[in-house]
């Protein structure tokens, strides 16, 4: 059996072993594959049976040309890079990994929030530059510092990741409002209070986005929804960039309607120089690394191998297109 990993570097820049996949057959790993070159993607797949991709697109053209493909493993939760309809027509299962990074992504959402509240990186740099030593007072701060206890965290999307963010927020003394199309009554009261989207938008001091990107959630945060929010709200997004209309958020940051934003994702990645959020005040942007702790990536790799094993045993799991 021939296995191809089209873009393995982000998952494994050298600190992990590919052995969990290599045990299934001949495994070729490419660090990167040009995302906009179907011909090169086709050449690299060749006559492989198993294809793993993270962000390299698999189009209908690729499926037509690579007739040996019998399984596609997505090394991520999101699978929009794969033409799942084309794969379905050829009866090729597309399998994702939905739950490998809940702890890390929830932790990262709170890390963004705490950086906004305390500006730790900035104040460390100020100390390193000698400003504390030269200060006439025994302490100083350059930004307003924010205490989170008794404030309200609104979480849009209360699946595994949203629940982790909510759990940490509660540990900080915050009240948690949750909006999700599926409500788990066992979480009510102890972990959160479920409510509708309007109340989350209107009553939250902090809004965290943890919902998937669907047509109905694209552009969820826009000029109209921002106007319904509290003045001085903080917005966090380490889910999917297109959940936010970036021009509208930039304008809200400029006028102070939104006090700050912490983002690990943007609409086009890597970020483009004309993204309006790059010039917006109080906007913290990191390069889509919520998922990237070593422990999380190692878990992802082992789940990918277990998914493949289940398929080979005739009991495929996490299939998104069949």
In angstroms, the CA 124 to CA 121 distance is: 5
Helix (H) or strand (E) holding 55: none
For residue 238, the model assigns a pLDDT of 98
- 191 catalytic per annotation: no
Per annotation, catalytic residue among 22, 147, 188, 269:
269
In angstroms, the CA 288 to CA 263 distance is: 8
Residue range 206-210: average pLDDT?
98
> What are the tens digits of pLDDT across the range 265-311?
999 999 999 999 999 999 999 999 999 999 999 999 999 999 999 99
Per annotation, catalytic residue among 240, 254, 294, 297:
240
For residue 142, the model assigns a pLDDT of 97
Residue range 96-111: average pLDDT?
95
Residue range 88-113: average pLDDT?
96
- 199 catalytic per annotation: no
In angstroms, the CA 284 to CA 182 distance is: 30
In angstroms, the CA 99 to CA 308 distance is: 16
Share of the chain above pLDDT 70, in %: 100
CA angle 127, 173, 262 (to 5 degrees): 55
Strands 2-5, 258-263: pairing is unpaired
Residue 186, pLDDT above cutoff 90: no
DSSP-assigned beta bridge partners for residue 319:
95
DSSP H helical ranges for 16-83: 19-22, 38-45, 60-65
For residue 202, the model assigns a pLDDT of 98
Residue 191, pLDDT above cutoff 80: no
Domains and CATH numbers, the chain: 2-100+294-312 (3.40.50.720), 102-285 (3.40.50.720)
> What are the tens digits of pLDDT across the range 269-282?
999 999 999 999 99
Residues 6+ apart with CB under 8 A from 198: 228
Residue 190, pLDDT above cutoff 90: no
Per annotation, catalytic residue among 44, 119, 210, 288:
288
Residue range 4-27: average pLDDT?
97
> What are the tens digits of pLDDT across the range 152-184?
999 999 999 999 999 999 999 999 999 999 998
- 122 catalytic per annotation: no
- At which residue do the structure tokens 């019998």 appear? 70
77 against 94, higher pLDDT? 94
For residue 322, the model assigns a pLDDT of 80
For residue 78, the model assigns a pLDDT of 86
Indicate the average pLDDT of the chain.
96
């Amino acid at each position: 059996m021939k296995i191809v990993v089209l873009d393995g570097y982000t998952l494994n820049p050298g600190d992990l072993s590919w052995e969990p996949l290599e045990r299934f057959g001949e495994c070729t790993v490419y660090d990167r594959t040009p995302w906009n070159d179907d011909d090169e993607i086709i050449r690299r797949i060749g006559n492989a049976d198993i294809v793993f991709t993270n962000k390299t697109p698999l189009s209908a053209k690729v499926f037509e040309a690579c007739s040996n493909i019998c399984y596609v493993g997505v090394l991520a939760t999101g699978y929009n890079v794969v033409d799942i309809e084309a794969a379905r027509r050829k009866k090729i299962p597309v399998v994702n990994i939905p739950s490998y990074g809940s702890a890390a992504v929830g932790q990262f959402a709170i890390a963004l929030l705490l950086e906004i509240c305390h500006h730790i990186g900035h104040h460390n740099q100020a100390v390193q530059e000698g400003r504390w030593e030269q200060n006439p007072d025994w302490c100083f701060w350059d930004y307003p510092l924010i205490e989170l206890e008794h404030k309200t965290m609104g979480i849009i999307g209360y699946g595994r990741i949203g629940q982790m963010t909510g759990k940490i927020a509660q540990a900080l003394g915050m009240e948690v409002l949750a909006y999700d199309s599926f409500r788990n009554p066992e979480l009510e009261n102890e972990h959160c209070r479920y409510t509708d989207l309007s109340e989350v938008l209107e009553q939250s001091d902090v809004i965290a986005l943890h919902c998937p990107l669907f047509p109905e959630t694209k552009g969820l945060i826009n000029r109209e929804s921002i106007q319904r929010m509290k003045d001085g709200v903080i917005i966090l997004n380490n889910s999917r960039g297109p959940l936010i209309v970036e021009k509208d958020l930039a304008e809200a940051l400029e006028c102070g309607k939104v006090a700050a934003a912490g983002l690990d994702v943007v609409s086009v990645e890597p970020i483009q120089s004309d993204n309006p959020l790059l010039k917006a005040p109080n906007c913290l942007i990191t390069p889509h690394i919520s998922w990237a702790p070593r422990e999380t990536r190692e878990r992802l790799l082992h789940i990918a191998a277990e998914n493949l094993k289940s398929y080979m045993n005739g009991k495929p799991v996490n299939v998104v297109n069949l």
